[in-house]
Homo-oligomer: A and B are copies of this chain.
Amino acid sequence: MTRIDGRKENELRPVHIVTNYLKHPEGSALIEQGDTKIICTASIDDRVPPFMRNTGKGWITAEYAMLPRATEQRNIRESAKGKISGRTMEIQRLIGRALRAVVDLSVIGEKTIWIDCDVIQADGGTRTASITAAYVALALALNKLYEENKMEKFPLTDFLAATSVGIMEEHGTILDLNYSEDSQADVDMNVVMTGSDRFVEIQGTGEESTFSHEQLLELLELAKGGIQQLIQIQREALGPIAEKIGQ
């Protein structure tokens, strides 16, 4: 049985990444994954947060937001509400944590890289697409640092991408859920993996539902296939910079 948009269970939506989409940031990428569109930027700041001072190491932190009309119904801006939702906080903590796993922070030195992921249009999978595109923006910004400072080592130790997988009653396990699938899925899992097939983060949730050990293994297998394809797309977007990663 084909999915609502005609995809197979193990098929990603079409993915396009535009590098250097904006003129001001040190690195930026626009990702379109199906109807999900996100602008990710990486900004270099010559200070680190207090807990990193005098460690000789850098830091990477992320923020995530949606335009009010990225969604079917207009959302109230978090600036107007005066506070950030729990969902937003979870996502931005996840993005920062994931990226830090493939960066050698001691190579960067005491700098902070601010990652901003702003969802222009949302159709499911915004947190995983944010990670995939933020990785590209980060690589571009780090390459600038690397070139300008004539660093000895490129600070990225591996590739990194993310995908959602899930379980729907009528389809079983599926890859890269769009919004309509996500809102009906029994189990929703986000997986972040490196270019060498190692896990950085697994977040699997049965909302009013549960899943078995066998289902878990199937989900992880699907995720691995999707992430390998996404890393190939990142590689193409980055061109010669890709060669420096993990060296």
On A, residues with C-beta under 8 Å from B are 22-25, 28, 35, 39, 41, 43, 45, 63, 65, 67-72, 74, 77-90, 92-93, 97, 100-101, 105, 114, 116, 118, 120-121, 158, 189, 194, 197-213, 216, 220
Complex: chain B residue closest to A74, CB-CB:
B43
A216 near B202 (CB under 8 angstroms)?
yes
How many copies of this kind of chain does the complex include?
A: 6
Report yes or no: A198 in contact with B211, Cβ–Cβ below 8 A.
Answer: yes
Complex contacts, A87 vs chain B, CB 8 Å: 93
14 chain-A/chain-B pairs, Cβ below 8 angstroms? A22-B120, A24-B69, A41-B68, A69-B114, A69-B116, A79-B83, A79-B88, A85-B89, A97-B205, A97-B207, A198-B212, A199-B213, A201-B204, A202-B204
- In the bound complex, CA of A223 to CA of B113 (Å): 35
Q: How far is the CA of A203 from the CA of B204 in the complex (A)?
A: 7
- In chain B, what residue has the closest Cβ to A44? B74
Cross-interface CB contact of A23 among B35, B43, B86, B210, cutoff 8 Å: B35
Chain B residues in 8 Å Cβ range of A71:
24
CB distance from A118 to the nearest CB of B (A): 5
Task: Report the nearest B residue to A88, measured CB to CB.
Answer: B79
Contact for A69 among B41, B121, B197, CB less than 8 A: B41
Contact assessment for A74 and B208 in the assembled complex, using a CB-CB cutoff below 8 Å: no
For A157, the closest partner residue in chain B by CB is: B210
User: Once the chains bind, are A24 and B198 in contact (CB under 8 Å)?
Assistant: no
Shortest beta-carbon distance from A133 to chain B in Å:
14
A72→B24 contact, CB < 8 A: yes
State which of B198, B200, B205 has its C-beta within 8 Å of the C-beta of A201.
B205
Contacts A41-B68, A82-B82 given; 4 further ones with Cβ under 8 A? A24-B69, A41-B69, A86-B93, A200-B206
Complex: how many Å from CA A209 to CA B63? 21
Q: How far is the CA of A204 from the CA of B71 in the complex (A)?
A: 29
Q: How far is the CA of A151 from the CA of B60 in the complex (A)?
A: 46
B22 touches A43 (CB 8 A): no
8 Å CB contact of A204 from B90, B114, B120, B199: B199
